[in-house]
Amino acid sequence: MTSVPSFPSLEDYVRHYAAAVPSRPAAEHNGTVITYSSLWQAVERRAEELRAAGVRAGSLYPFLTEQNTDFLVTYLAVHAVGAAAVPLGHELPAAEYDAVSAVCRRAVLPHAVDDGENIADVLFTTGSTGQRKGVMTSMRALLGDADNLICGQGFSADTVFVVCGPLNHIGSLSKVWPVLMTGGTLRILDGLKDMNALFRAFDGKRPVATFLVPAAIRLLLRAGGVSLRRISGCTDFIETGGAAVSQSDMEAMCDAFPSSRLYNTYASTETGIVTTYDYNHNPCVSGCLGRALRHSSFAVLSDGRLTCSGDTVMSGYLDDTEGITAQVLRGGTVYTSDLAQTDSLGQLHLTGRAGDVINIGGYKVSPTEVEEAALAAGGVGDCICAPFRSPLFGDTIKLWYVADASVTKQQLARWLAARLEGYKVPRVFEQVDEIKHLFNGKPDRKYYNQQK
């Protein structure tokens, strides 16, 4: 297990490494490298600028994020001032930015009993309802999340982590924390619009790790060929989360990266990092997410719903005038909408999401089961299953899918009929150019549920 020093805040770790290993690269972006010494100096300057601008301890500081090293400077400087960082996507419309800023000006953060309970971050998420909610995360939760990943995935001073997702979302932001806590290096990309940029980030000089949502995993596998073989030998580990990974994609990843650690992680903005599971060095089982990490715990209720507890859970929703926090967070436990079960080893297995189950003529259908079966068919790159009212069949199931031209609707229907019970097989199919996904990589089920 990696041994790291113990400090009360993330910025204290950066300050420590700035003194201990000043010339070590902290972050890289587009060929520009910032050392730990330079990073901390920039953080101190930015903190003074924030204080001069009136940012005070206990306040909230919203800012638009960019995929570069300057994000780290602002993010850490806000913490250094004692304020809560509110990173927002740089493509957020001006009206929505103004609305969030207004909430931040009027909101009052909960009183902290000790320094560890101070709110460090507020991450805004829309969730399945489309209602924007600010999830408050304490410094204790942030450090607990980081330590869970350090212990569960082996982050160390040698880690070079490629960040290719939005830094205002827990999927990528949560990887900043363990890297800076262990004195590793962040390699920040502008996103995944150019897969070649991802391949170039694996330069072969040092083993590299990254986080990819399931849709990006499929893009990686479809790229294949020489590029995939080249990065396979220099890949330390790849983590995925945000949505289920199909069994076929997991098996393909194991074939492509035989020596790398490949992780499925259960995490959410509300629960923090709860479990992680290396499916390349353990049984490759779709939906298996492993045991609870050291700062977290979980339980499955009698109705199958998953609950999570521990140091990593949120402190509540910001400016919660409608009492939503009390519906989700009770007694330090987050009641999720995820459906789960545990195996004989105490490992977590997700089985679906409460609001996603489709009722067709009294039969319950899990859309993820249908989607996983479809993704196992050769030539299918992406898909989503949703309820649909057909003029011919009435209330039924529809499958939107992305596939090679060689895949016909009839072939796909026969493939599913051979693997699923009859009532689970969609009656309507539509081939599309792409499947809509949310910014966190999850399929946009709300959009497709409205396609009546």
Higher pLDDT, 366 or 18: 18
Alpha carbons 164 and 428: distance in angstroms, whole number: 35
Percent pLDDT > 90 in the chain is 73
Listed residue (162, 9, 171) closest to 77, CA to CA: 9
Average pLDDT value for the chain: 92
Alpha carbons 311 and 289: distance in angstroms, whole number: 19
Evaluate whether 360 touches 353 at the Cβ level (below 8 Å).
no
Note the pLDDT of residue 131. 66
Find the Cα–Cα–Cα–Cα dihedral 394, 400, 405, 411, rounded to 10°: -50
Alpha carbons 271 and 337: distance in angstroms, whole number: 12
Note the pLDDT of residue 438. 77
Residue 55 confidence (pLDDT) above 90: yes
Alpha carbons 389 and 396: distance in angstroms, whole number: 6
Please give the model's pTM, rounded to 2 decimal places.
0.88
Q: What is the mean pLDDT of residues 257-273?
A: 97
3-state secondary structure (DSSP) of residue 57:
coil
Residue 452 confidence (pLDDT) above 80: no
E-strand stretches of 22-118: 25-29, 32-35, 60-64, 84-88
Which range among 51-60, 81-90, 107-116, 184-193 shows the weakest confidence by mean pLDDT?
A: 107-116
pLDDT digits (tens, 9 = 90+) for 8-50: 999 999 999 999 999 999 999 999 999 999 999 999 999 999 9
Evaluate whether 140 touches 134 at the Cβ level (below 8 Å).
no
Note the pLDDT of residue 2. 58
